[in-house]
Homo-oligomer: A and B are copies of this chain.
Amino acid sequence: MRVYNFSAGPAMLPLQALERAQAELTDWQGSGMSVVEVSHRGKAFVKCAAHAEQTLRELLAVPDDYRVLFLQGGATAQFDAVPLNLTRPGQSAAYIKTGAWSGKAIAAARAQGLEVAVIADQADGKYTTVPAADSLTTPDDAAYLHYTPNETIGGVEFGYIPASAGVPLVADMSSTILSRPLDVARYGVIYAGAQKNMGPAGLTVVLVRDDLLGQARPGTPSVLDYAAMAASDSMLNTPPTFAIYLLGLILDWIGQAGGLAAMGARNQAKAAALYGAIDGSDFYANPVAPDARSWMNVPFTLRDPALDGDFLAQAEANGLTNLKGHRSVGGMRASIYNAMPMEGVAALIDFMADFERRHG
């Protein structure tokens, strides 16, 4: 009896992948061992990790001059790893601030001794907007330009890739990677925690262009040193084997579902249906500018916040879980990542209409 789980992350995963993992959890590939019990350096697991990497490369059409790294510590570790790998203290880097997660990335860069040039800060719009593409200017002396293509908490997403004037573009794609086709070649570094569209928590995927390797500061912890991890095929230390295995199963599912073009069409349709229901009602509201609305995270409020508790309890009773908004935003948030089917969004829309009829 599965529910429609709207959690922002860790999040709903494709049942096909979970059922496969379940079936073989005590006996993987007829080995008499679980996938969590085998050596990461054994043939079977090396092949499993290579399959995950190769499938990711195919789905994202990753150019040959990019390395795919499987790291640990989430996007939070990357907030430090990006400055540690790409800069020296006292250098400058450019950041775009569109909400909570880009704000954390900026704070970490400053703590690493960088001069941070915030070339756009959407505070005026209460972080419900993205800057106009033509308003952005990256300083020549910036080591890189960092932005957050999708803000998980605010539900704010860029509809374009910022121009970075020849400076490497760095993106925290935790909550948007694999949601649609992506032009990897536009980026210097892409990083993403797995626990939204890719798998369980505890795995971080990093794509880094070859020419950016080998510049890490002395003292960079080896597990966060891109060049050291690239040189060891991400096995400098024991990798999170279960998470990499499950990533591979989930990537297989994406491929079978038609790849990222199909995923993008489906995600766009899901988001359009949900925003349409919100906009078509005076009972519900979404605060985000239309050109900045996320396909992945849809925050919305009820006209009367006193009804929030009833809404959440009744939704849960109807098999629609984890709709409570982030504590900093309030209201509701429906995260509708790849694994959420259109049927789940439709069930939510039906419930919202029914709730409005009864309480509107």
Q: Which residues of B contact A239 (CB under 8 A)?
A: 201-202
Asked if A36 and B201 sit within 8 Å, CB to CB, the answer is yes
Asked if A242 and B202 sit within 8 Å, CB to CB, the answer is yes
Q: Which residues of B contact A37 (CB under 8 A)?
A: 5, 7, 10-13
Q: Which residues of B contact A322 (CB under 8 A)?
A: 38-39, 42
Asked if A33 and B3 sit within 8 Å, CB to CB, the answer is yes
Asked if A219 and B113 sit within 8 Å, CB to CB, the answer is yes
Q: Which residues of B contact A74 (CB under 8 A)?
A: 72, 223, 237-238
A306 at interface, CB cutoff 8 A: no
Q: Which residues of B contact A40 (CB under 8 A)?
A: 10, 201
Asked if B219 and A73 sit within 8 Å, CB to CB, the answer is no
Asked if B222 and A76 sit within 8 Å, CB to CB, the answer is yes
Partner of A32, one of B3, B72, B238, B240: B3
Give the interface residue-count category, chain A: 35 or more
Asked if A18 and B34 sit within 8 Å, CB to CB, the answer is yes
C-alpha gap A352/B223 in the complex (Å): 39
CB distance from A336 to the nearest CB of B (A): 14
A134 at interface, CB cutoff 8 A: no
* Contact mask for chain A residues 242-270; partner B; CB cutoff 8 A; 1 contact, 0 none: 11001000000000000000000000000
* Contact mask for chain A residues 206-246; partner B; CB cutoff 8 A; 1 contact, 0 none: 00000000000011011110000000000011111111001
Q: Which residues of B contact A13 (CB under 8 A)?
A: 34, 36-37
CB distance from A224 to the nearest CB of B (A): 6
Asked if B8 and A39 sit within 8 Å, CB to CB, the answer is yes
Asked if B237 and A75 sit within 8 Å, CB to CB, the answer is yes
A332 at interface, CB cutoff 8 A: no
A358 at interface, CB cutoff 8 A: no
